[in-house]
Structure 1
Amino acid sequence: MSSDERVLVVTDTVRKDIGVPIYQAALERGCDALLMEMKPRVRSGEEPPRAVEHALIHTDVFILVTTVSLSHTQARKEACKAGARGASIPIQSNDQDLVLRTFARGGMTADYPAMSKSIGRMMDRLKHIHEARVTTAKGTDITFTFEHRRWHADTGIVSKPGEFTNLPGGEVFVAPFSAEGTAVIDGTFGDFGILDEPLKLTVKDGYVTSAEGGHARELNKVFDHLGRNSRNIAELGIGMNPKARLCGILLEDEKVGNTVHVALGDNTGFGGEVSVPFHFDGIIKEPKLFLDGEEIDLKDYVFGAMKTTA
């Protein structure tokens, strides 16, 4: 942020413990800063108030420090279309010590330029692949097809108008064209945090046909309330941050190296066609990843490339 930029910090009544200090830091840098505090949203992907939406498209830089994610809202997408650049920092935890540790350690402390090189190496490998298969010892066996869908890199570095990141950064992701198989979520799932019991999702033609296990009852209520689009397999992501650790805060957990994540719901912000006010990511630990039938070593891409840049 430079002193001649308009900076908007959006927070809520729960997450102002982080939002207010970030706003104060923007003021200290001499920015024309504005703080907006809103009522917490119910679920990730739910739109903010109209006043926030309006402010987002009339700023240069935005920082969304909220309880649940605004990343996949139309308000955020329209802000980037209007030329604003920014970051989302959604934190669901009520454990303030854990929240502060997330900022002091973990994924926020990665060497971002070096990690960007690792991500670039992974992106080169992902060019022109037609399908990916993910398996685990716990029962995951799901295949994704992509057609002409484009992979995206989140390096955590945002310097150009219209760019956007979640912090901490460190993942590559895509909106699959379709998916088929079984995904066993055994890490964090959406706003529920770390699962005590794995969540098994059965997928056919790109949509969840059944959910069993951890928080399946709550998820099925979302499906009933929001309809078929909330069952969409919205995203396949690969964690690329060597400093991130599984802690129950999704924005950290989805970046953990040697994990993949599968998201449900909206994917219109990164090349998909399904619009719904819902986006939940599920972390799958210790996966095997096959690209067009060839297994790749995720650890080498995350940690090996980092060693070569040290």
Structure 2
Amino acid sequence: MSDLLEVCRGLLVNCLNVKEDEQLLIVSDDYKKNLGEYLYEAGKLLGAEAVHVTMKEREKSGQEPPIAIAEAMKNSDVVICVTTHSLTHTKARKNAVANGARLATMPGITEDMFLDGAVTADYTQVKELTEKVTKVLDTAKQIRIEKDGKALVFSVEGRNGVPSTGVYVNKGESGNLPSGEAYIAPIEGTAFGEIVIDGSVTGIGKIDTPITLKIEEGRIVNAVGEHADKLLAILGDGKGRCLAEFGIGTNNKARITGVILEDEKVFGTIHVAFGSNITFGGTIEAGVHCDLVVSKPDVYIDDQKVIYAGEHLF
């Protein structure tokens, strides 16, 4: 058995508890169908009723899959989405989970990521830290991010934190694989200030020069930096420029590689996202969801410092 097939088998067992005769659906696109095929073969080895479907690559993260695939997702026991762009923040994912599917999204996953980096983490430890951070977010009212003399402040009062532990063994559980983050939807319209993005950006990759964003009433009003114009083009002129998410990375094996799936999980980073958040407690439906990673920030929750230059103080 090849190393990659063995990793896929272990992932299906340890992270999704795939069992014999379960309906296992692997969704891939043209660019990721080879990795999807390995997961399909691993599912067959476990005795699952495995199905692998391939679709045309989506234009951007957050765009819905074809209706036929959305229906198949809703009628499966376990779903894995191995795609170029993320299906995490789609109605198809939300509806499948509501119907009881255990679901993992793997946007941008690479063979290297399977064999090294975030996938190799001890997910017992990742789960423990992620759930601890989520509990802090659950009771938070205000969050402040500081870096390089800039500060962004927003409310999360009344919103629940979401754990993405990498372990989805119960009916209706879902998240990214590889994983390791706790995140929350900020209250729309409350964010004011500036934030320096210096890690990576969905659709752009790892960045060598920072992007500084100015935000007023929860929306980007100015962006400065080498990649600023491309970012704004990805987000569009509408609701895509609204702050949608704040997240904290909890995976100590993750690396910043330019693939946001792994980048946003890196221990010592936080990320913000713009666009849709209706699938995890917000009210924005934008047809796009773009994550931006910040390395080694200071973070205050209700004026208590919880991260200092990337080091957790939880």
Deviation at 1:176, TM superposition (A): 0.3
Matched with 2:144 is 133
Which amino acid counterpart does residue 107 of structure 2 have in structure 1? Answer: P
Say if 1:186 and 1:195, in contact at 8 Å, map to a contact too.
yes
Aligned position for 2:213? 201
Residues 1:120 and 1:21: Cα distance change in structure 2 (over 3 Å): same
* Amino acid of the structure 1 residue aligned with 2:129: S
1:273-310: CA deviation from partner (whole Å, max 9, x where unpaired)? 001110000000110011111212466649xx9xxxxx
* Secondary structure class of the residue paired with 1:64: strand
Alpha-carbon RMSD across the aligned residues, in angstroms, is 1.7
Tell me, yes or no, if the aligned pair for 2:26 and 2:40 is still in contact at 8 Å. yes
Measured in 2, the distance between the counterparts of 1:264 and 1:124 equals 23
Determine whether 1:49 maps to 2:59: no
| Distance in 1 between residues matched to 2:311 and 2:227, nearest whole Å | 33
Query: Residue type matched to 1:44 in 2?
Result: S
Distance 1:182-1:101 versus aligned 2 partners, 3 A rule: same
Aligned residues: 294
Q: Is the 8 A contact 1:196 1:214 kept in 2?
A: no
Residue aligning to 1:63: 80
Is contact 1:195-1:214 (8 Å) kept? no
Matched with 1:14 is 31
Aligned to 1:96: none
Q: Give the drift of 1:144.
A: 1.7
Q: Does the alignment pair 1:214 with 2:226?
A: yes
The one-letter code matched in structure 2 to 1:122 is V
- Show CA shifts across 1:178-206 (max 9, x none): 31111111111012111132122111111
Amino acid at match of 1:146: V
Report the Cα distance in structure 2 between the residues aligned to 1:259 and 1:123, rounded to whole angstroms: 15
- 1:235 deviates by 0.2
Which residue identity does 2:45 align to in structure 1? E
Q: 1:214 to 1:161 in 2, by over 3 A?
A: farther
1:181 counterpart = 2:189: no
| Identity in percent | 37
TM-score after normalising by structure 2: 0.89
Deviant stretches of 4+, over 6 Å = none
Please report how far the alpha carbon of residue 133 of structure 1 lies from its aligned counterpart in structure 2 after TM superposition.
0.6
**Alignment partner of 2:112: what SS?**
helix
- Structure 2 residue runs of 5 or longer lacking an equivalent are 1-17
Q: Give the 5 Å matches for 1:74-89.
A: 74-89=91-106
Deviations 1:88-109 (A, max 9, x none): 00117xxxxxx22211111111
Q: Take 2:136 and 2:71, find their aligned partners in 1: how far apart are those partners?
A: 40
Q: Tell me, yes or no, if the aligned pair for 1:11 and 1:38 is still in contact at 8 Å.
A: yes
Give the whole-Å Cα distance in 1 for the aligned partners of 2:157 and 2:262: 29
